Amino acid sequence: MNNKSKEREQAVWNHYLSFLSEATLEQQSAFYPMLVRMKERVAADCSREELRDMMVLLFKPGTVMQGLEQWQCMMDMLLYTGMDKFDGQCRFDHFKKVPPYSDLSQKGKDSPLPLTHIYDLSGVTQDMLHFIFNFAGDTKDNIKLMEMFILSSKLQKNAEIQMLLGDFYRKVGLYDECVKIYRNIRRNGLADDRSIDDAVRQTASLKHYMKTGKWK
């Protein structure tokens, strides 16, 4: 592994450590022992499912935004630690000759239930969403791509997926549309927690900043 790869991998772990500290209001040192264990398991070619289970054991999200953030951390770990580098299989699955995306697949079907965590969806769905959101480009065309993918996967009523779609709208500067999606999450009964209001307030502040150069 070259120096840049090592820096990217370390940045992923540092980001997750910061997230855990902020989400739980605990000192970062409280998580060091488990993170060391996670790093050891990743280096030993653990499966995607084992990584997910370790993360959920370490911190179980209490809000939609926390669930989405934890999922993003997991996907970044898969990408930047080199776990996923054999056509969608992590090293463990590849060398065990397990079919691609067999883990987290729920028999190949995704659940449309509102409270299903995004990291419990099939590996294919997770990878597609992560690719569209992070690498397909911040354009309105790619929003349509994500919307079509969500529709085809029958995930319109999944709270975390809808939050991800709202975040995508915010990325391209469509703040009013973003807020509408966030509010629809609550209006449609998909989720009812403080993170929805937090997201609406943050988006309003960002919109004001982009228009005036000052934080509201």
Determine the pLDDT at residue 155.
Answer: 87
pLDDT(105) > 70? no
Residue 98 DSSP one-character state: P
- pTM, two decimal places: 0.86
Q: What are phi and psi of 85, to 5 degrees?
A: -150, 15
- Residue ranges per structural domain of the chain: 3-86+95-212
Determine the pLDDT at residue 153.
Answer: 84
Confidence of residue 108 (pLDDT cuts 50, 70, 90): low
Which amino acid, one-letter code, is at 74? Answer: M
CB neighbourhood size of 184 (10 A): 13
Strands 84-86, 89-90: parallel, antiparallel or unpaired by DSSP? Answer: antiparallel
Confidence of residue 21 (pLDDT cuts 50, 70, 90): very high
Determine the pLDDT at residue 31.
Answer: 95
Confidence of residue 115 (pLDDT cuts 50, 70, 90): low
Mean pLDDT to the nearest integer, 54-59: 94
Q: Please return the burial class of 180, using the count of CB atoms within 10 Å of its CB with bins 0-12, 13-18 and 19+.
A: middle
- What tens digit of pLDDT does each residue of 180-214 get? 999 988 877 766 778 888 888 888 888 888 888 88
Which amino acid, one-letter code, is at 140? Answer: K
Q: Please return the burial class of 23, using the count of CB atoms within 10 Å of its CB with bins 0-12, 13-18 and 19+.
A: middle
Secondary structure element (H or E) that encloses residue 66, with its range: helix 64-80
Provide the angle, in degrees to the nearest 10, between the axes of the packed helices 64-80 and 48-58.
140
- What tens digit of pLDDT does each residue of 118-168 get? 888 888 888 889 999 888 777 778 888 999 999 888 888 888 999 999 999
Q: What are phi and psi of 127, to 5 degrees?
A: -65, -40
